[in-house]
Amino acid sequence: MHTLLVNRTDPADITLFKTDSPALQDGEVRLAIDSFALTANNVTYMIFGDHIGYWHYFDPKAYGFGEDNQGRMPVWGFATVSESKCSDVPVGTEVYGFLPVADEIVVKPSKLSPQGFQDVADHRAPLHPVYNGYSYTAADPSYAVQKAIQPVLRPLFLTSFLIDDFVSSEKFFGAERVVITSASSKTALGTAYCLKQRGGVEVLGLTSERNRAFVEETGYYDTVVTYEMIEGLDRVPTVIVDMAGNGELLARIYAHLRDNVKYGCAVGKSHYQGDAAPKPDEGAPMKMFFAPDYAKSRIAEWGGGGFATRLAERWIPFLGDAAGWMSVGEPAGVEAMLTTYKNLLNGTTDPTQAALFSLKG
């Protein structure tokens, strides 16, 4: 088995590790990982790895290898059952779900349904079920739509959909405008798309000069400005949806807008080396938005079918639209993956280009 190990306190310190594949126990299946995506969201998983628990899903120590300070970055992708000791999940079954950067993983299926199963391996059982679920791609026709883009956008768009639902259900906290930082990031684009479709509030994107033209061309934002232009923003009641996690940037926004900040929604940390969010003297402070918990509350309210229907109404059109501004190549190998990983840490990826990766072969 090949896998990527990351220093949990220094994401730039990585190791490609090889170890023998573990033998299957009764009830387990081996997933051969076919392809996975790398986005800024995966950096966020690592930064909040101890706080929220992302490091625990694929903790190498739980699988019998690695050092105490090493973890495995979670990604989203497709895998195929290559060996099975679970009669309900036969060899050849394709699934989509949460995966490590590796060429395989052993899972223990339970809570099976026609749509998929949950991994109930001992170390994962206490963790959030949203990340323990694996979907059968054959059971959901939406996986056939722009399949290559799915691992790149699907998990991010779920967060986008939930942010839109959250702030709109609160009547935008009385704000006239939603400011989204790191506006070229995929979660930001999905959020802007949903807000623009809903209407009722100005959607403003903050981005770098390098990405400004692209962000404008998507048409998802009413207004696009660069970070250098923060002090020129109109002082109107505002909700901040922060994807960047850059404390210095947020401090500038608060210093300029002051008590016009009606709510601060902290989502990601694409600027992983930035300072922590400030504690403003004026304006509503930043509050962490944890999408899985909000999704759980909406599923309880709407039911699983109602939730899926509402999500699909936004997801399928967005997926088709995104194919116009994003291209995804065939799954690339280790060297390309390491280059993209470095670019993500440095914030230098091209938002119009996405890639899938594979450690197989």
**Which amino acid makes up residue 351?**
P
Residue 25, pLDDT score: 95
Q: How many CB atoms lie within 10 A of CB 194?
A: 23
- Ordered by start, the domain boundaries in the chain are 2-145+326-357, 156-292
Single pTM value for the model: 0.83
Which CATH number is 2-145+326-357 given?
Answer: 3.90.180.10
- Return the closest-CA partner of residue 148 out of 360, 357, 341: 357
> 156-292: which CATH architecture?
3-Layer(aba) Sandwich (3.40)
At 22, list the tokens: 């573990």
220-269 per-position pLDDT tens digit: 999 999 999 999 999 999 999 998 788 899 999 999 999 999 999 998 65
Going residue by residue through the chain, which has 361 residues, state the pLDDT in tens, using 9 for 90 and above.
999 999 998 999 999 999 999 999 999 999 999 999 998 788 878 887 777 788 999 999 999 999 989 999 999 999 999 999 999 999 999 999 999 999 999 999 999 999 999 999 999 988 888 889 999 999 888 888 888 888 999 989 999 999 999 999 999 999 999 999 999 989 999 999 999 999 999 999 999 999 999 999 999 999 999 999 999 999 999 999 998 788 899 999 999 999 999 999 998 655 445 555 667 789 999 999 988 889 999 999 999 889 989 998 999 999 989 989 998 878 899 999 999 999 888 878 888 888 899 998 6
